[in-house]
Chains A and B, each alone.
Chain A
Amino acid sequence: MAVIETKNLTYTYPGGTKPSISDVSIKVEKGEFVLITGPSGCGKTTLCRCFNGLIPHFYQGELKGEITVAEMDATKHPTYEMAKHVGLVFQNPENQLFALSIEKDVAFGLENLGFPREEMRKRVDWALNLTGIYDLRERSPYEVSGGQQQRVAIAAVLAMQPEIIVLDEPTSFLDPLSAEKIFEVIHELNKKLGITVVLVEHRLDLTAKYANHIIIMDEGKVCFDGETREVLSTEEARLIGVGIPKATLLYQMLKRDGMTLSNVTPLSSDEITTLLLEALKPDDRS
């Protein structure tokens, strides 16, 4: 069952001369972990904003085509309704947190929705625990690190218990170690709770291994859309200029130069190591 579906989606920002996205038709199934990537300016951020109605309601502009999210026509429902089903986490951790204490921030969405206090308390504690920041709940957002701030943002979205979580380059401002931790949290949410994850990222090295579906965009259009391993092993994907994981590149280079390796394209250093150990270990056969 498709939880996000778009047909020929085209959008131009107000005052824009050409569309930021054109003819985007994609389908995301329930429970998938989708990676959306592409060079800067390819339209991935614009696409994210369509998923929860920020486009067209907040941004105005011209939106053409169809978009259905969580069985709702995103153009016909206000963002505060969409927010119950689609959570959006943005790039800059600092600019998503407004309250003076972290748990109040996590409760923000629930307060807006008018939840009763006991229910809010339960959900806030649940979200804080899932993201591993329960101990930080009484601190101020300014006092914690960028990685922790992003976890607060994720918890804040999680508390509303949406079916889909969209994350727009959530680790841009974070160091690789914190980024890895964030991706692990997201992966857990996808695996354990079955939440559909849409992740916009450049760092394919760290994320490709989690995704079962990848969409590569360039200049507003979808260029590749399919299973991660299949798409990333094509030559064309590399030519677009996305950061193909080094493990995948190395694998392709070795195969091209004649090395016999299994046909399963690796997406992470662990996966290629397994293949290499197979290929390079001396035979045990007598």
Chain B
Amino acid sequence: MSVFDGLKFRKVYSPIHNLDPRMKFIYVCAVFVAAIIFGELLPLIALFLMQIPFVLLAGVQREWLRSLRGAVFLAAIIFFTNFIFSFIGAGYVVLAANVEYAAAMTLRFVVLVESFSVFFLTTSPDHLGLALEQTRVPYEFSFAFTTAVRFVPVLAEEAQTIMDAQKARGLELEKGNFLKRIRNYVPVLIPLIVSAIRRSLELAEAMESRAWGATKKRTNLYALKLHRGDFALLAITIGVLVVSIYVRLYVHVPTLSQFL
């Protein structure tokens, strides 16, 4: 099940992975805001290029490119929609400015999606769970998150086993028209759901037996501490925000098309 391979926690240690998830998240939000502030192509290109050092430092190029490929379809739709409407609006004439605008909108979408992608690619679920625990998110939610992530590979394997068991009874998942194929999945879904319910019951028993709910003030074995790198990232974040707001307010942003 290659889809779930990415969640099989390979402990990767890179400077980016070690950054505090909270700081990374704030940085991503800043990029998000900056991308919304600008509707022009040049600054958006700059924002896009800014992701690349992070990707390279973290060593997640391959996965990042793969997620880019995933975004291509939607990006293409955004480009063409914008282009068609501005094309019609300009009286069925192709204007360089309009092409640039469509490209900018597309790139804005890509930057928004890709900055979050970088965040998730460079933050392990453990780290994320820990960050959730340390912020004011109620413990129940971060527990639900980490437990869910922990069981993803288990459930994936179980789904495969169930499919094998039913195939061994003559179930042919590939045959039949669209409706028949959906119905074929019932013998796979029901055992999966029943098993998930049984599993939750057993987990609940184990939780209770280990003093779940004893106090409202839960402590934590680990603590997320901010290091130099985190403060550096914070500085970059503030820089991005300040520069974006300044440029937006006081600087005329050039367009590419005026150089044509």
Cross-interface CB contact of A114 among B154, B205, B212, B217, cutoff 8 Å: B217
Q: A58-B204, A116-B219 are in contact. Are A88 and B209 (CB under 8 A)?
A: yes
- Whether A117 lies near B211 (C-beta < 8 A) is no
Nearest-CB residue, chain A, relative to B218: A111
Interface residues of A in 85-119 (CB under 8 A from B): 87-88, 90, 92, 94-101, 103-104, 107-117
Residues of A within 8 A of B5 (CB): none
Q: Does B203 contact A (CB under 8 A)?
A: yes
Contacts of A94 in B (CB 8 A): 154
Contact B150 A98 (CB under 8 A): yes
In-complex Cβ contact of A95 among B143, B203, B212 (8 A): B203
Q: Are A117 and B220 in contact (CB under 8 A)?
A: yes
- Total A-B pairs in contact (CB under 8 Å)? 112
> Is B223 part of the contact surface with A, judged by Cβ < 8 Å?
yes
B contacts with A: majority SS: helix
Is A92 touching B150 in the complex (CB atoms < 8 A)?
no
Q: Which residues of B contact A120 (CB under 8 A)?
A: 219, 221
Among A75-83, A195-203, A223-231, A244-252, the stretch in contact with B: A75-83
The interface size of chain A toward B, counting residues with CB under 8 Å, comes to: 47
Q: Which residues of A contact B209 (CB under 8 A)?
A: 52, 54, 79, 83, 87-88, 90, 157
Flag if A111 contacts B221 (CB, 8 Å): yes
Contact B221 A83 (CB under 8 A): no
Interface residues on B, range: 35 or more
Q: Does A141 contact B (CB under 8 A)?
A: yes
CA distance A112 to B220 in the complex (A): 9
Complex-state Cα separation, A79 to B204, whole angstroms:
12
| Interface pair B214/A81, CB less than 8 Å apart | yes
Q: B258: CB under 8 A from chain A?
A: no
Having A104-B221, A114-B217, A141-B150, one finds 17 other A-B pairs with CB under 8 Å, namely A57-B208, A58-B204, A80-B213, A83-B209, A83-B214, A90-B202, A96-B202, A98-B207, A100-B129, A104-B222, A111-B221, A112-B214, A113-B215, A115-B219, A138-B11, A140-B9, A157-B210
B interface residue numbers (CB < 8 A to A): 8-9, 11, 125-126, 129, 143, 146-147, 149-150, 153-154, 199, 202-215, 217-223
Q: 22 A-B pairs, CB-CB below 8 angstroms?
A: A52-B209, A58-B205, A80-B214, A83-B209, A87-B209, A92-B202, A95-B206, A96-B203, A97-B150, A98-B143, A98-B146, A100-B9, A100-B150, A104-B221, A104-B222, A112-B214, A114-B217, A114-B218, A115-B219, A140-B9, A140-B150, A153-B206
